[in-house]
Amino acid sequence: MGSFFSSDSTPERPSTSSEPSSVLTFHSSPRWQLHFNSVKETSQLMVIDFSASWCGPCKFMEPVLNDMAAKFTEVQFVKLDVDELP
């Protein structure tokens, strides 16, 4: 019996949308802090994906996150690279 997560042969899912992703990304801590603090003052739901360029499961989840962002437009989706923004 194997584990679903232990397989290296799982193909990456292509994104079902041809439109640009609505997932926000930040490459500087000050900009991220400013954005986070402004959203914190509202009642808007925010989903934060902490990822890294070298992380296989993170790459696998990227199209899923993009699909969710396209489906749930009232929710704000943010992707943060843990190596860029420690």
**Which domain CATH number covers 39?**
3.40.30.10
Q: Give the pLDDT score at 76.
A: 95
Query: Phi/psi at 62 (nearest 5 deg)?
Result: -55, -50
Q: Which domain holds residue 62?
A: 18-81
Is residue 24 assigned to a domain? yes
The model carries a pTM of: 0.70
d(CA 21, CA 23): 5
Tell me the pLDDT tens digit for each residue of 39-68: 999 999 999 999 999 999 999 999 999 999
Q: Give the pLDDT score at 8.
A: 40
Is residue 2 assigned to a domain? no
Is residue 86 assigned to a domain? no
Residue 22 has pLDDT above 50, yes or no: yes
Question: Catalytic residue numbers?
Answer: 55, 58
Helix, coil or strand: residue 62: helix
d(CA 42, CA 82): 25
Is residue 8 assigned to a domain? no
- Band of residue 19 on the pLDDT scale cut at 50, 70, 90: low
Is residue 5 assigned to a domain? no
